[in-house]
Amino acid sequence: AWRAGAGWSGRILSFDNRGRYAAALEAPASVAVKGADFTLGAATLRFARGTVRIDEIARREGGFFSSGSLSGLDSAYLLGLTDQAPAISSTLTMGGRWKLAATNTINGELEIKREQGDLTLLSEPPTAVGLTRLMLSATVLEDRLSAKLDAAGTVLGAISASVETTLARQGTSVGVPGNAALAFDGEVTVPSLAWTMPLMGQRMVIDGRLNGKFAGRGTAAKPVLSGNIAADGLKFEYPEQGIYLKDGSVRASLRDDEMLLERITLRGGEGALEGNGSVTWESGEMNARVALTANKLEVLRQLDRHLVISGDAEARLQGGSVHASATLKADRGEITLPGTDAPTLSSDVVVLGREGDTAKKKSRFAADLELNLDLGEQFRLKGRGIDARLAGAVKVRAKTDAPTTASGSIRVAQGSYSAYGHLLVIDRGILNFAGPLDNPGLDIVALRKQQTVEAGVAIRGTALAPQISLVSNPSVSDSEKLSWLVLGHGMEGSSRKDLGLLQTAAGALLARGESVTLQNRIASTTGLDEVSLGGGAGANGLESAVLTLGKRLSSRAYLTVEQGIGASMHLVKISYALTPRVSVRAETGTDSAVDVFYTFSFK
């Protein structure tokens, strides 16, 4: 209806929005329009599975007025209206009331509170917050805003905050200008950090308690912060990796736009970790620095690994880049290598639900890491036949999108290696790093000691392309080296069973390809025990060289054929061992003879 001097008046009988923001009018609402003024009153809407009661929404005499109440609003529905999937699920319902009068000044009240329900973090497993109290209230009097937040939960703890500032109107908008005076205070109490464990997605144990007080003064554009944060009883355990850190504490303070990490402590075993640092915000970007000192800190404790370290480390976050460096020394360490018989999945097996390497998220930070590690005097390596005490130092460098490199040298100070059923003493063991971390240069010699001929193996080359050869002291033929290494005596005392062991050992060496000499590989292919080319020195060169072929006929008899390359010299020899020290040799060819030999050794 329209009436002169009063304008239009009427009722909205029905309203039903079936779109994204579904809402429906439950009962007719009155409406009046006069010129630029309007009034909507007594409207009840069904929205977000709850009820919104509008007592008044009006514009009159250049001012804006509104009042009403809320009840039963489903927060899960409201979260679903966001463009991104929230990381929480909710059974929380909200209620409240509001009253606003914006004329030459702004006055009003707002209250939103929890009615029932809870929030659940979508971790694995899900973690309920345990909300018991949630209320946000605000009062505006003559443009002065005072707001308070009060929240508590059995899991997260409690948080309270208050803020005071000044509102201002600009056209039809209301907000806080940058030059408005600002004062806020807050307090946080978290009785236990155990609720963060499911968020890590690993089998970790995290705990501790946190208390903090903070305040801010200045203007809305440039607040001056102050406050203190204290965390005690911190614990971080990762049993799968052997990490057990406890009794930690943090003391921090807020000063202007900087948070000072005044003291960081954490214990591991009988040692400790201490540090300090700072966090700043510049133009909306966070920069951070943390310096740490370890004193006999036990960082690993497991059946197959144990490590205690001392040293210094520093990490910086600046301009989206992480720079970290550490200089550490192992006070004590013991690493046991896993066995090689454990089953592993083939590379073409895909496990559903498990992210592969290609699915890993790329970090938004560029990293540059440098580690200087001194192994100290008590670092042991065990497993796969090795029992050694290591020494030396290595420098490791890792950068984003670049292979990890290392430089330095690690040596075996004392150790042994089990091979062919015997214990070999590592006479020399050196790993030289000058490039990729996984491919150091090798210089290793391991000998079977306490016997007439100390025989063993030498490993040279690189980790990805090792070259293995037989060595002995004093130097003897390769067949003798292998016999002394495997059997503990020379070839003359070998039985058929012994020869089988030697054949198996030789096969293991031959399987390593280029690690065995060409003569040995030819001998293995032809079924001979020895193929060698000797002589050839001097002016005649190959004309004076002699080709030697050898074959063991039995555990006591050995046949040798020698043929000159450029001369008519030829010789056939049969050696027969009467005892381990006494042998007889008969030869015929260019010269014929029968000899009796008595062998003895000395150092």
In the prediction, which pLDDT does 594 show? 85
In the prediction, which pLDDT does 513 show? 42
Beta-carbon contacts of residue 68 (< 8 Å; ≥ 6 apart): 52, 53, 54, 55, 56, 57, 97, 98
Contact 367, 399 (CB under 8 A): yes
> SS3 of 203, please?
coil
DSSP 8-state secondary structure symbol assigned to residue 247:
E
Q: Provide the whole-model pTM.
A: 0.70
Q: In what order do the strands lie in the sheet with 593-598?
A: 530-534, 546-552, 557-564, 570-577, 582-589, 593-598
The amino acid sitting at 508 is A
In the prediction, which pLDDT does 203 show? 78
Q: In what order do the strands lie in the sheet with 127-128?
A: 88-90, 119-121, 127-128
Contact 547, 522 (CB under 8 A): no
In the prediction, which pLDDT does 480 show? 80
Residue 438: half-sphere exposure toward Cβ, Cα within 13 Å: 4
SS3 for 404-454, per residue?
CEEEEEEEEEEEEEEECCEEEEEEEEEEEEEEECCCCEEEEEEEECCCCCE
Query: Among 80, 87, 89, which Cα is nearest to 20's?
Result: 80
**Phi and psi torsions of 543, nearest 5°:** -65, -25
Contact 327, 353 (CB under 8 A): no
24 beta partners: 16, 46
Q: What distance in Å separates the CA atoms of residue 271 and residue 296, rounded to the nearest whole number?
A: 4
CB atoms inside a 10 Å sphere around CB 484: 23
pLDDT along the chain (603 residues), means of 10: 89 90 91 92 91 93 91 89 79 95 91 94 82 95 95 92 90 82 95 83 85 92 90 93 94 89 95 95 82 96 92 91 94 83 72 58 75 94 86 93 91 85 86 89 89 87 85 85 78 58 58 48 60 56 66 77 71 82 82 82 61
Q: For the residues of 337-359, what is the DSSP string, one character each?
A: PPPS-S----TT---TT---GGG
Beta-carbon contacts of residue 226 (< 8 Å; ≥ 6 apart): 214, 215, 216, 217, 253, 254, 255
In the prediction, which pLDDT does 270 show? 93
Pair type for strands 157-166 and 168-170 = unpaired
Q: Which helix (H) or strand (E) holds 521?
A: helix 518-526
The amino acid sitting at 529 is D
Contact 469, 457 (CB under 8 A): yes
> SS3 of 167, please?
coil
- Whether the CA torsion 254, 258, 263, 264 is positive or negative: it is positive
